[in-house]
Amino acid sequence: MSKNLLFFVDEGGFEDFTSMFVEQGFKVDFEDSQRKATKLAKKNSYQVLVAEFSHNPEFRDRVSNIESLLATLEGNSPLAKIVILYDDLNQPQLDQLKARYRMDAMLKFPIDEALLRQAIG
């Protein structure tokens, strides 16, 4: 059985870890659109989600950019490991989101590749 990983990047500005994911034996779907990532999560089964967390105070009805994605993944791939990449400035909002959704690992920028490798393993 192939291992599928969904890699969602919102704002970017950090290393692309796709080649490392492939080295670890994953088939990687890379997406930089939250809507498209959510569609992929509806259509496919994933063993791992690696997602960049961001918060915008203009979000009126949600805390972050990944709530829809997490809710969809929870329904379609409930056993998936969830790894969140985030900026320390967004820790309070991430804590709010963590109260509602399961997260297996939360890694602060700059991302330590060894910790990420361990988190997806």
Structural domain spans, the chain:
3-120
What is the C-alpha separation between 72 and 43, in angstroms, rounded? 10
pLDDT at 56 (0 to 100): 78
The mean pLDDT of 92-105, rounded to a whole number, is 95
- For 66-75, give one letter per residue: b (16+ CB within 10 A) or e: bbebbebbee
pLDDT at 8 (0 to 100): 98
3-120 fold: Rossmann fold (3.40.50)
With a cut of 90, say whether residue 55 has pLDDT above it: no
For 68-84, the pLDDT digits (tens) are: 999 999 999 999 999 99
